[in-house]
Amino acid sequence: MKTFCLITLIGVLQLICAKGIQAQPTQTQLHQIELMKGVTGDSKFNDYKKQLDIENFQYFINKGENRKIQDSKNLKVPKANQLKSALAMGEKLDSTIWESWDTITNQWVSMYKNEYAYDTKGNQTLWIENKWNNSTSKWVGISKYEYTYDANRNQILYIVSYWDDATSRLVFYQKDESTYNANGNNTVVIYYWDITTNQWVGNTKVERTYDANGKCTLDAIYNWDKNNSQWIAYNKWEYTYDVNGESVLDIYYMWINDQFVPFDKCEYNYDTHRNINIGINYEWDFNNSNWVVYSKTEITYDANGECTLDVHYVWNENNSQWIADHTSEYTFDTNGNLIVYIESYWDNAISQLGFYQKYEFTYNANGEDTWVIYYWDIITNQWIAYYKCTYYYSEHSMIFNPEKLNVYPNPASDYAVFHINNISDSAKIEIFDNQGKKVLEQKLPVTGQISISHLATGLYLYRITNSRYIYTGKIIVL
C-alpha cells in the first residue's frame, strides 16, 4: 500500500509544484494532501473508491489504472478450479478503453484508450494515453510515460511527454530520477522541462526512509530554492507500525517558520483478523496546540474477509457526536469478484443519506473486466450511466522461485510461519484443500506468521506471491 501511496504522493506533488507553492493551501490542495497521505483512510480503507471529478477525470483514470498495473491480475474462476488457475500463468493489463454515454444517440462513444508495455521481468516500461478524435474517427496520442529499472527491479527513471498541437510532436514535460542506498532508502528528484532553455530543471525532492523490516517510516519533501541554489524543507509524513507490520499511525507535518509543525494524523485499529476496521482522523489546533478529532471511518467485513461496508463520519462539535457523512457499500459474487459498489452521501435537504454514485463490474470468459459508472438522478430517482471502462489483459509469465521456503512448524495446528527473505508490502498467501478449493487468502505479514487454527485436519497446498515470485508447497494441519 505504501508503494502506491508514494506514487500518488509524487503525482500530486508534481501538480502542486507545477502551479506554485502558496502561503495558504487552497481547498483543492488540501484535498490533494489527503490523497497524498492516505491519512483520510478512504484510499487506505478500500481499493475501489474513486473520486470522480469531471475536471480532473484524467487523474481518476491514471490513479485507477496504476493500481491495477502494479500486480498480476487476479484470475476470475469458479472456486472448484482455483488451485489450478492459481498456479497457471499470470496476466498483465494490456489496454483500457473508456467510453461515455451519449444521451442523444443513446450509445457508448469512445473517449480514451490507454496502452501498456512490459519488460521480460514484468516491469511496466511504457504507458501511452490516447483520445478519440471524432473528426477523423481515429485514436490520437496525447501523452507518453516511460519507466526504467535497475537490476534489482527498482524504478530509477520516469519520463512524461505530452503531445504539443502547436509543433505536432511529443515534448518533454516531467522527469523523476530515483536513487537507492545500501539500506534500501530511496530519493526521488522531480524535474520539469524548461521550454525556454530546453533543459531539465529540478523542482521537488522526496526522501523515503525504511526500517529494518522494509517498512517506510518517513517521507520527507523538499522544494528547490533557485535563488539560493539549495533544497528547502516543505513537508513530511511519519509512519508507525505495530509488531505485525501493520500501520497504526500516520502523521503529516508542514514546514512553517523554519520548523516542522503537525498538520493532521490518522490512527488505525484492526479486528481479530487484522483487517483495518476503524480509522480516526485528527487535525492540529494551532491556537490550542493540541489534536482535535474531525472524522473517522468504520469498516465491516464478511466471512470471507471482504469489505462490505465502510461508513465515514464527521465530528459535530456542537453536540459532541459522530454524524454519518457518507457510506460505501460493496457486493461480491461467489468467486469473490467485486460486482457492485455504491456511494451515498448525507443530504442536508432531506436529513438522510442519498445515493450519489454506483459502479457495476462484469467479468467475461476472456478475463476482460468492464466497469459501468452511474450517477443518481435526484429528479427521476434512478441511476443514469455515464462512463464505461473495459480492461483487456494478455498473458505474462510469473517466475516460480527455486529458493527454498522454510515453513515451521510443519505439521502445525494453531499457526505456521512462512519464512521468506524481503517480504514485500503486496505479498499474499493462498491455501487450498486437497480438492483444490481455496480456504484461505490474506496478506502475508512481515513476520510470515499466519493463523491456521480454523482449518480442519488434513493436507493443504499453499501458494505465496511475493512481488513477481511464486512459492508453492505443502503443509499438514493437525
> pLDDT tens digits for 186-239?
999 999 999 999 999 999 999 999 988 888 899 999 999 989 999 999 999 999
Residue 145 is placed in which grid cell? 510515460
Residue 474: its H or E element: strand 469-477
pLDDT for position 395 = 56
Residue 127 has pLDDT above 90, yes or no: yes
Rounded distance, CA 288 to CA 276, Å? 31
Q: What's the average model confidence in pLDDT over 338-348?
A: 90
Residue 5 φ then ψ, to 5°: -60, -35
Listed residues 397, 426, 444: the one ending a domain: 397
Q: In terms of domains, do 25 and 102 share one?
A: yes
- Give the E-state strand segments of 195-318 in sequence order: 199-210, 216-225, 230-241, 247-256, 259-270, 276-285, 290-301, 307-316
Q: Could you tell me the pLDDT band of residue 65, with boundaries at 50, 70 and 90?
A: very low
Q: In terms of domains, do 342 and 414 share one?
A: no
CATH no. for residue 406? 2.60.40.3080
Neighbours of 207 (CB within 10 A): 16
Q: In terms of domains, do 306 and 439 share one?
A: no
Residue 89 has pLDDT above 60, yes or no: no
- The proportion of the chain whose per-residue pLDDT surpasses 70, expressed as a percent, equals 77
Rounded distance, CA 162 to CA 144, Å? 6
Q: What's the average model confidence in pLDDT over 323-334?
A: 91
Looking at the DSSP assignment, which residues form a beta bridge with residue 329? 309, 342
Q: In terms of domains, do 433 and 465 share one?
A: yes
**What is residue 24's DSSP assignment?**
S
Residue with cell string 459502479:
359
Largest CA distance in the chain: 71
Q: CA dist 457 to 3, 412, 414, 451, 454, Å? A: 38, 10, 11, 14, 10
Q: Could you tell me the pLDDT band of residue 464, with boundaries at 50, 70 and 90?
A: confident
pLDDT for position 396 = 55
Q: What's the average model confidence in pLDDT over 60-65?
A: 38
- The proportion of the chain whose per-residue pLDDT surpasses 90, expressed as a percent, equals 44
Average pLDDT, the chain: 78
Angle at 401 between CA 395 and CA 406, to 5 degrees: 140
**What is residue 412's DSSP assignment?**
B
Q: In terms of domains, do 228 and 250 share one?
A: yes
- What strand order describes the sheet that includes 406-408? 406-408, 415-419, 449-451
Contacts 24+ apart (CB under 8 A), 140-147: 141/170, 143/173, 144/170, 147/123
Residue 328 has pLDDT above 80, yes or no: yes
Listed residues 345, 378, 397: the one ending a domain: 397
Identify the domain containing residue 272 by its residue range: 2-397
Residue 322: its H or E element: strand 321-332
Q: How many CA atoms lie within 13 A of 216 on its CB side?
A: 22
Q: What's the average model confidence in pLDDT over 129-154?
A: 91
Q: In terms of domains, do 210 and 323 share one?
A: yes
Q: In terms of domains, do 110 and 83 share one?
A: yes
The answer to whether 353 touches 324, Cβ cutoff 8 Å, is: yes
**What is residue 77's DSSP assignment?**
-
Selected residue with higher pLDDT from 248 and 394: 248
Residue 289: its H or E element: none
Residue 334 has pLDDT above 70, yes or no: yes
Neighbours of 232 (CB within 10 A): 12
Residue 107 has pLDDT above 90, yes or no: yes
Residue 38 has pLDDT above 50, yes or no: no
Q: Which of 29-38, 72-81, 469-478 has the lowest mean pLDDT?
A: 72-81
Q: Could you tell me the pLDDT band of residue 263, with boundaries at 50, 70 and 90?
A: very high
pLDDT for position 404 = 58
Residue 327 is placed in which grid cell? 457510506
pTM equals 0.65
Residue 282 is placed in which grid cell? 485528527
Q: In whole angstroms, what separates CA 384 from the centre of its chain?
A: 27
pLDDT for position 125 = 93
Selected residue with higher pLDDT from 21 and 299: 299
Q: Which segment, 25-29, 56-60, 242-246, 340-344, is predicted with the most confidence on average?
A: 340-344
The answer to whether 294 touches 315, Cβ cutoff 8 Å, is: yes
Q: In whole angstroms, what separates CA 130 from the centre of its chain?
A: 23
Listed residues 349, 366, 397: the one ending a domain: 397
Q: Could you tell me the pLDDT band of residue 27, with boundaries at 50, 70 and 90?
A: very low
Rounded distance, CA 145 to CA 129, Å? 8
- Give the E-state strand segments of 78-182 in sequence order: 90-102, 107-118, 124-133, 138-149, 155-164, 169-180
Whether the upstream peptide bond of residue 411 has omega within 30° of 0, thus cis, is yes
Pairing of strands 369-377, 449-451: unpaired
Q: In terms of domains, do 195 and 250 share one?
A: yes
Per residue in 408-455, pLDDT tens?
Answer: 898 998 899 988 877 777 788 888 877 677 888 888 888 889 999 889
Rounded distance, CA 321 to CA 33, Å? 26
Q: In terms of domains, do 338 and 437 share one?
A: no
Q: Which segment, 26-40, 62-76, 297-311, is predicted with the most confidence on average?
A: 297-311
Whether the upstream peptide bond of residue 445 has omega within 30° of 0, thus cis, is no
Q: How many domains does the chain have?
A: 2
Rounded distance, CA 102 to CA 109, Å? 7
What are the residues whose beta carbons fall under 8 Å from the beta carbon of 193, sequence distance 6 or more?
Answer: 171, 172, 173, 174, 175, 199, 200, 201
- Give the E-state strand segments of 20-106 in sequence order: 90-102
Q: Which segment, 42-56, 255-269, 340-354, is predicted with the most confidence on average?
A: 255-269
Residue 250's nearest CA partner among 261, 258, 238, 259 is 238
Q: In terms of domains, do 150 and 256 share one?
A: yes
pLDDT for position 367 = 58
Q: In terms of domains, do 388 and 420 share one?
A: no
The DSSP code sequence of 7-20 is HHHHHHHHHHHHH-
The answer to whether 358 touches 345, Cβ cutoff 8 Å, is: no
Q: In terms of domains, do 321 and 298 share one?
A: yes
Looking at the DSSP assignment, which residues form a beta bridge with residue 108? 101
